[in-house]
Structure 1
């Protein structure tokens, strides 16, 4: 018989799995989406920007919504928006409508942002009640969701299954998992808020926390590492097709390799952080991501590029959860986590569409150069996570 605490922990894991699964499900079909919509690389960048716009909207409003209606209702609304996005995407692709597809990605982005922020806030609070680091595992379930979604997408592509049937299955998974785990979702953040109530409006709390120099430097790290993750999630299949001349199925297989690296890095990350420390793991992650990016950008041998995405994925895996965990150690944990996660989402979502514009003129491989520069910057800023390395 599972204890209440164990059920709450697995509810967090399950709800973090869903946005990753949904995300990879449609990302794995971006080559099909591009062909169906007859879109150029630049046009695909504009369409993908819908996801970024929706996500940033979801991220920005979620902090205030948590204060108004709590985390449980907030995550339910996020799931409903996510479902609406999948339905609209199905309609957009069936009608071959770029505008409707753009709107669908806005809804998917808003739902993903809402769910992700709530789980990060609640996960950070729950982590502190356990006195045990679980943030890397929480994000590991997001990556596991992307891995499962990517594998399903690869199978659907190989079997030439239409996006209509594929995304109908995605809808069924979201509804079934939400019905199972939502009732066990914890509310540790509400208890922390009651024990140490913040003063001032939400905006005043944010401005007060932004005066913390360590939090700002942590923001640079999360900006860089989230960009490394987001650029692969949005562009890796197309990089493999346009930049390395792979087919649709092979390009999706490479993306599966990236998500496998992300998943492995996050599930093993907590064990390694406890032994090597947060700073050294962040530095190792930045080096690994840089090595992978260098090979993808400058090397022409497909087998070596396929191996390199594992380094890229493993390297990008720990930046987001470790910086969120470090940010949560301040006094106003919910606001600090919201700030850190928002910065991560900004790079994760706004950066990749910009790379699409760059890729239209310089090629998608060279468009990854700014990502490489940011990862190297994160390497030099990783010391900002030194405080409370045992967390």
Structure 2
């Protein structure tokens, strides 16, 4: 019986698996570089556009809305055209988007900047979902949990992007110059990596009567994923993971500065400690997933994040709060890759399920900054972050849903990555 996606591509040689793995790790790193390299120049962007902080924040929401809109349809796009074609289209979209951002900042015109932010938001979703689907394919080929390694590379790329932005700023280079230079380098590298990084994933939808059936089956699969309780509950895990990781990036430095009357550099080091903890666990924690299974590791991660958040939010001392930062970072490390891996258990349905699950994280990224900002005005930034505990508890409650699926659709947590 034909399926929306061909689940049985030709078995690759071990060398090609290794090549695909490293190529995808580079893709994740580039994704991280691209995002933080321009977001780290927000003070200069605000000055170039002549906006207040509040106006700039509202403008950036446009990019988040673009991401949300794209996420809702990316599953069908991947099912119809494959991950490789989707990545090529996303790269082209990023080139246009960054070009518009450069025009906006160089001319002080908000309109092209907003258009560029929206286009980059769409392109970000068209990159994020395919690279995660391909990473899950590599994990299946390897036969053990390695998806956290890819997310660790994203974290490393994000840190590198911030350093790139700092370097351009230190040299007195304009934001427009940086945008063009970074986009040129990233585009060339993506062009080199696109074929090897997508070697293990099905490349297009197939159907009983050609393109029309393929198109219809892809759309049906994308809509059908929204009716699957397991997929929706995995989405809640991703929502909590995105709140935990994203809120730290947005608010932790300010929480340390305001909460402990510390210098700005101390706040930056605190966030650096969080990222370091998260990256180390993403590289070292895959063995735990293989040994103890996804559910046990996700529950341990949730407990670590919960204790860390409570320590950070309630501790009267910066020393014990710093312990909370480490525990929070360790707890935030594996939830996202575990959820993506769970959504990708069945290759035939991976694209729509990953798209649905990641839409929850997009909602978190859109809603968390303004909601936490309002709460911070009332109770302070450090105490406002305690609201994330509710999402972590919810993630713990539904953690059993990430058990690997067997071939008959049942769940099995005998292995960390994928059940036999």
TM-score (norm 1): 0.84
**CA drift at 1:117:** 0.6
Find 1:221's aligned residue among 226, 237, 240.
237
Alignment partners' CA distance in 1, 2:54 and 2:258: 13
Q: Please give the per-residue CA displacement for 1:70-106, whole angstroms capped at 9, x wherever unaligned.
A: 2112101212222333333344344455555443332
Aligned residue among 177, 180, 198 for 1:186: 198
CA distance change for structure 1 residues 294 and 102 in 2, over 3 Å: closer, same or farther?
Answer: farther
User: 2:7 aligns to what?
Assistant: none
Classify the secondary structure of the residue corresponding to 1:188: coil
Residue 400 of structure 2 is aligned with which of 379, 383, 386? 383
Q: How does 1:365-384 map to 2 (within 5 A)?
A: 365-384=382-401
Query: Which position in structure 1 is the counterpart of 2:39?
Result: 27
Specify whether residues 141 and 148 from structure 1 end up closer, same or farther in structure 2 by C-alpha distance, changes over 3 A only.
same
Does the aligned pair in 1 maintain the 2:76–2:221 contact within 8 Å? no
User: 1:58 corresponds to which residue?
Assistant: 70
Among residues 357, 362, 370, which one is paired with 1:340 in the alignment? 357
Which piece of structure 1 moves more, 157-166 or 379-388? Answer: 157-166
1:43 aligns with 2:55: yes
Corresponding residue of 1:315? 331
| 2:238–2:339 contact (8 Å) kept in structure 1 | yes
- 8 Å CA contact 1:198, 1:332 repeated in 2: no
Which SS does the other structure have where 2:395 is aligned? Answer: helix
State the partner residue of 2:228: 212
Corresponding residue for residue 18 of structure 2:
6
Aligned equivalents of 2:250 and 2:400: distance in 1? 29
CA displacement at 1:381 relative to structure 2: 2.1
Pair 199,23 (structure 1): closer, same or farther in 2 beyond 3 Å: closer
Question: Are residues 265 and 353 of structure 1, via their aligned partners in 2, closer, same or farther at CA, if it must alter by over 3 Å?
Answer: farther
For residues 252 and 192 of structure 2, the distance between their equivalents in structure 1, rounded to whole angstroms, comes to 33
1:190 counterpart SS class: coil
Partner Cα separation in structure 1 for residue 178 and residue 330 of structure 2: 28
Q: What whole-Å deviation, never above 9, does each CA across 1:346-381 have from its counterpart, x for those lacking one? A: 223443344344445554334423322111221222
Q: Does 1:270 align with 2:286?
A: yes
Q: Which residue of 1 aligns with 2:408?
A: none
Query: What is the CA distance between 1:122 and its match in structure 2?
Result: 2.2
Equivalent residue in structure 2 for 1:364, among 376, 381, 393: 381
For residue 103 of structure 1, what is the aligned residue in structure 2? 115
Quick one: which of 233, 240, 259 aligns to 2:275?
Answer: 259
> In 2, distance between residues paired with 1:359 and 1:382?
29
Higher percent of residues as helix: 1
Q: CA deviation at 1:174?
A: 0.8
Gaps of 5+ in 1: none
Cα deviation code 1:217-241 (max 9, x no counterpart): 2222111112212223344444455
Contact 2:76/2:352 (<8 A) preserved = no
Q: CA deviation at 1:129?
A: 3.4
SS at match of 2:381: coil
Residues 328 and 114 of structure 1: is their aligned pair in 2 closer, same or farther, counting only changes over 3 Å? Answer: same
Residue 132 of structure 1 aligns to a residue whose secondary structure is coil
Report how many aligned residue pairs link the two structures.
390
SS of alignment partner, residue 144 of structure 2: coil
Q: How does 1:126-137 map to 2 (within 5 A)?
A: 126-137=138-149
Which secondary structure does the structure 2 equivalent of 1:3 belong to? Answer: helix
Structure 2: gaps (5+ residues): 1-13, 404-410
> Which of structures 1 and 2 has the bigger CA Rg?
2
Partner Cα distance (2:173, 2:128) in 1:
29
Of 149-158 and 42-51, the range deviating more from structure 2: 149-158
